[in-house]
């Protein structure tokens, strides 16, 4: 990929997405599940750009959404309502109402209280709400604690006994139609065992429900497949699929998978230019025009991203890659080996396609970066760089 040319044309900081790579990732996962009816629902929170969603929709993907805004993005990008799932721990009444009116595939419920709110709202609308219930199987995903979601200490889902009670209530409700079951134990998982353990627990619950004449149509395994940031040993999609499919023998359900990072993470790059270098008491800093407001993962999760200096030559010495934001937490990498840099050199930060732009902000009144798609060797702008007037428009209207 011609990163220098892209930086010249679109300026920096800049996000670049390899759409051909996204296609390959999607097809690899879809093919892994070809032995059974399946629906891949892209987790929009990973990268919510409309063009990214539309590209995946054209491949056949649905969407997993965690706000009504993401539901609207999916619809705007051309995803059919019957391929949209609305998840999330806290849904406002107006979000539930709007989702029901949109006719999406199902709402994924995470508590007893939420079920009663959905039931009340559906009744008031004269609708029957298609629902799934998120089960917390109490499985340790062996990942970063901030992105672990399948333990009882996490805020997500309900335990097995509660889930069973909720399904029984839903079966006898005139306003609820229990069509699915869901679990998601965490993100950036690189071992098969947690997936197998969780799927086994939840599939056994499905069998118990079937004995109670509660026939579910969708078995939603969430997402969580890890990607390679550094030296991780990642999971082959076929092996992942086999582990889950082996737990579903005898069950006539459509398998739903909700990948986010797996589809877009390694297909995104963040480009930033060197402003200058400085040394404090022998400590080397490379100051760049990108900042933590653009890519917060290193600061938030202490996440590693490979940093590449284009055309870098010469002796390498340790350096911190830092940005202009007034925080000591404003860094992309610490103590990495890097050749001496010059003003305007381009650094490429790899594996930035997931939880990069989508978590960016206007902190320090910095406009968010432009986004570019590259497909079949051609680039196109898919989000215009924010300028000052765009940032203050909603405030200026209130002056």
Report, as residue numbers or ranges, the catalytic residues: 326
The annotation status of 259 as a binding-site residue, yes or no, is yes
The annotation status of 314 as a binding-site residue, yes or no, is no
Whether the ω angle into residue 134 lies within 30 degrees of 0, i.e. cis, is no
Cα-Cα-Cα-Cα torsion 25, 31, 34, 38, nearest 10 degrees, comes to 10
The annotation status of 297 as a binding-site residue, yes or no, is yes
The annotation status of 17 as a binding-site residue, yes or no, is no
Who's near 349: CB < 8 A, 6+ residues apart? 269, 270, 271, 272, 290, 295, 305, 306, 307, 308, 332
Residue keyed to tokens 């432009």: 370
- Whether the Cβ atoms of residue 371 and residue 357 lie closer than 8 Å to each other: yes
Cα dist. 244→29, 32, 99, 116, 194 in Å?
A: 13, 11, 29, 31, 11
The count of other CB atoms within 10 Å of the CB of residue 235 is 20
- Exposure on the CB side of residue 266, measured as CA atoms within 13 A: 17
**Two tokens, residue 209:** 């429900």
Residue keyed to tokens 């570019």: 372
C-alpha 221: how far from its chain's center? 15
The annotation status of 237 as a binding-site residue, yes or no, is no
* Angle in degrees, 0-180, between the axes of helices 68-76 and 93-102, rounded to the nearest 10: 30
Phi, psi of 85, deg, nearest 5: -115, 135
Distance CA 52, CA 54 (A): 5
- Whether the Cβ atoms of residue 305 and residue 349 lie closer than 8 Å to each other: yes
C-alpha 151: how far from its chain's center? 19
Distance CA 65, CA 70 (A): 5
The annotation status of 375 as a binding-site residue, yes or no, is no
Cα dist. 81→64, 85, 104, 113, 232 in Å?
A: 11, 9, 4, 25, 36
The annotation status of 180 as a binding-site residue, yes or no, is no
The count of other CB atoms within 10 Å of the CB of residue 50 is 14
For residue 33, give the DSSP letter.
T
Binding-site annotation, residues for pyridoxal 5'-phosphate? 224, 258-261, 355
Annotated binding-site residues for substrate read: 261, 297, 301, 327, 355
Q: Which parts are annotated binding residues?
A: 224, 258-261, 297, 301, 327, 355
């Amino acid at each position: 990929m011609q990163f220098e040319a892209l930086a010249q044309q679109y300026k920096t900081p800049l996000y670049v997405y390899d759409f051909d790579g996204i296609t390959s990732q999607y097809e690899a996962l879809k093919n892994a599940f070809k032995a059974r009816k399946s629906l891949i629902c892209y987790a929009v929170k990973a990268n919510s750009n409309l063009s990214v969603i539309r590209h995946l929709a054209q491949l056949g993907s649905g969407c997993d959404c965690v706000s009504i805004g993401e539901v609207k993005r999916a619809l705007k990008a051309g995803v059919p309502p019957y391929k949209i799932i609305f998840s999330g721990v806290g849904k406002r009444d107006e979000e539930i109402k709007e989702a029901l009116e949109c006719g999406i595939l199902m709402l994924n419920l995470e508590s007893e209280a939420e079920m009663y709110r959905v039931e009340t709202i559906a009744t008031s609308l004269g609708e029957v709400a298609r629902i799934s219930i998120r089960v917390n199987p109490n499985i340790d995903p062996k990942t970063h604690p901030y992105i672990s979601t399948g333990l009882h200490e996490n805020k997500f889902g309900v335990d097995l006994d509660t889930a069973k009670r909720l399904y029984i209530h839903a079966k006898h409700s005139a306003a609820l139609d229990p069509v699915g079951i869901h679990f998601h134990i965490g993100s950036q998982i690189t071992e098969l065992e947690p997936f197998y353990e969780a799927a086994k627990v939840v599939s056994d619950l499905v069998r118990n429900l079937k004995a109670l004449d509660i026939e579910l149509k969708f078995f939603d395994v969430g997402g969580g497949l890890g990607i390679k940031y550094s030296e991780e040993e990642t999971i082959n999609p076929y092996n992942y699929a086999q582990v889950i499919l082996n737990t579903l023998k005898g069950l006539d359900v459509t398998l739903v998978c909700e990948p986010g990072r797996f589809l877009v993470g390694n297909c995104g790059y963040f480009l930033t230019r060197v402003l200058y270098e400085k040394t404090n008491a022998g400590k080397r800093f490379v100051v760049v025009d990108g900042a933590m407001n653009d890519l917060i993962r290193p600061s938030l999760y202490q996440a590693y991203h490979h940093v590449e200096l284009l055309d870098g030559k010469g002796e390498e010495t340790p350096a911190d890659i830092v940005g202009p934001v007034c925080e000591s937490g404003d860094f992309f990498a610490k103590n990495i080996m890097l050749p001496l840099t010059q003003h305007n050199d381009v650094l490429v930060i790899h594996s930035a396609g997931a939880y990069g732009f989508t978590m960016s902000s206007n902190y320090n009144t910095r406009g968010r970066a432009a986004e570019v798609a590259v497909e079949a060797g051609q680039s196109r702008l898919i989000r215009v760089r924010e300028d000052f007037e765009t940032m203050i428009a909603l405030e200026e209207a209130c002056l």
